[in-house]
Amino acid sequence: MQDDLFGDTLPKPPPAEAAASAPASPIVPDTDAPTRRTRSGTVAPIAPDGALTDLAAALPPRLRLGTSSWTYPGWKGLVWEGEHSDTQLSKQGLAVYAQHPLLRTVSIDRSFYRPLTVSQYERYASQVPDDFRFVVKAPSVVTDALVRSEDGRGRQPNPAFLSPELAHSECVEPALQGLGHKLGALVFQLSPLPLAQLDRMSALLDRLRAMLQALPPLAPLAPDGVIAVEVRDPEWLTPDFAAVLREAGATYCLGLHAKMPPLQDQLPMLRALWPGPLVCRWNLNPVHGPYGYEEAERLYEPYERLHHPAPETRAALAAVITGITGRGQNAFVTISNHAEGCAPLTVRGVAEEVAKLAAR
């Protein structure tokens, strides 16, 4: 039964080489859909068609699908009407984004680069409905083993890596106080480690355990809140890592990224932590390789259509979502434009797969 729960009966995705040769998808926004004229400087939501509304109604209530950030002008006709700058969308886009029937969560990624304040989180919370939940990335000052230079490269050891004090003061406390019950998942994405540190995994696990166990409980203010740890090195995926997460009441963030094994090969971590919620971030299509963010940006911008559809990954993810939500657990799934080329369209694709399973 647990194998069915985690979707192990589904075929494995094809190798990256096969996916790379797939033709670009013709899926584009529906230009025949009715449009809504907007006042200058105002962002207005799309008028969803009946199929979109019916699809949202067919999804499990405990599933929250969303994207990584929301400031993309290319989502015209998919999330909002009209032409808008990324600056305008950064100010007005979230409230419009949250009116989309399928988008019930979003990943706040800017917090990775600079810690946010309570008032900044409060502004986000004020723009979304009561049942919306946020996924928040912990700041890199805590999750990077190396201090980054201006070009983004790690140069020297980071003395604050996995600091319990900074994790509490720069991440958990402001997010918890600012978002309150709208906090869904706090994700500590541990960036790729230097080889010298990978060779000392036992010491790293001790540091991670100390940090996680020092964090305050989320439940009093955020009943749905969960601490999740995402990694970029497969060496983390061991029973000892699962034990550290379990002892601290944290979970594993399923990271769909070219640096990590395929989804099916990460499922043992979910089994080891069961029962518990699903936190998943679909970050980067493997056709671009482990360092392919810049290549994906060049190819995919302005993120208005799908370039590299990954139907096998959608189906596998949908099976995991269905199994976990069907057992009464929450699922927070956020998707990047770099997954297939257009995050809102990938969200819809995953939603359609989940709805098919629900109808069986």
pLDDT tens-digit series, residues 29-84: 433 333 343 444 799 999 988 999 999 999 999 999 999 999 999 999 999 999 99
Average pLDDT over residues 94-98: 98
pLDDT tens-digit series, residues 258-270: 999 999 999 999 9
Q: Which helix (H) or strand (E) holds 85?
A: none
For residue 262, the model assigns a pLDDT of 96
Across all residues in the chain, what is the average pLDDT?
A: 90
Q: Which helix (H) or strand (E) holds 136?
A: strand 133-137
Q: Residue 183: is its pLDDT beyond 60?
A: yes
For residue 100, the model assigns a pLDDT of 97
Nearest to 242, CA basis, from 250, 122, 100: 250
pLDDT tens-digit series, residues 124-156: 999 999 999 999 999 999 999 998 766 556 578
Torsion angle defined by CA atoms of residues 207, 213, 219 and 220, in that order, rounded to the nearest 10 degrees = -120
Contact 46, 77 (CB under 8 A): yes
Q: Residue 10: is its pLDDT beyond 80?
A: no
For residue 337, the model assigns a pLDDT of 98
pLDDT band for 196, please (50, 70, 90 cuts): confident
Average pLDDT over residues 98-113: 97
For residue 214, the model assigns a pLDDT of 97
What predicted TM-score, i.e. pTM, was given to this entire model? Answer: 0.90
Q: Phi/psi at 229 (nearest 5 deg)?
A: -115, 125
pLDDT tens-digit series, residues 219-272: 999 999 999 999 999 999 999 999 999 999 999 999 999 999 999 999 999 999
The CATH code that applies to domain 2-19+44-359 is: 3.20.20.410
- Longest CA span, the chain: 59
pLDDT band for 5, please (50, 70, 90 cuts): low
Sketch the domain layout of the chain as residue ranges.
Answer: 2-19+44-359
Token pair for 302: 């302005």
**Across the strands, what pairs with 281?**
255, 334
CA–CA separation, 86 and 71 (whole Å): 5
For residue 150, the model assigns a pLDDT of 63
For residue 48, the model assigns a pLDDT of 84
Q: Residue 320: is its pLDDT beyond 80?
A: yes
Q: Residue 209: is its pLDDT beyond 60?
A: yes
Burial label, 88 (beta-carbon count in 10 A; 0-12, 13-18, 19+): middle
- Percent of all residues in the chain with a pLDDT value above 90, rounded to a whole number: 82
Q: Residue 11: is its pLDDT beyond 70?
A: no
pLDDT band for 322, please (50, 70, 90 cuts): very high
For residue 2, the model assigns a pLDDT of 56
pLDDT tens-digit series, residues 279-305: 999 999 999 999 999 999 999 999 999
Average pLDDT over residues 314-319: 98
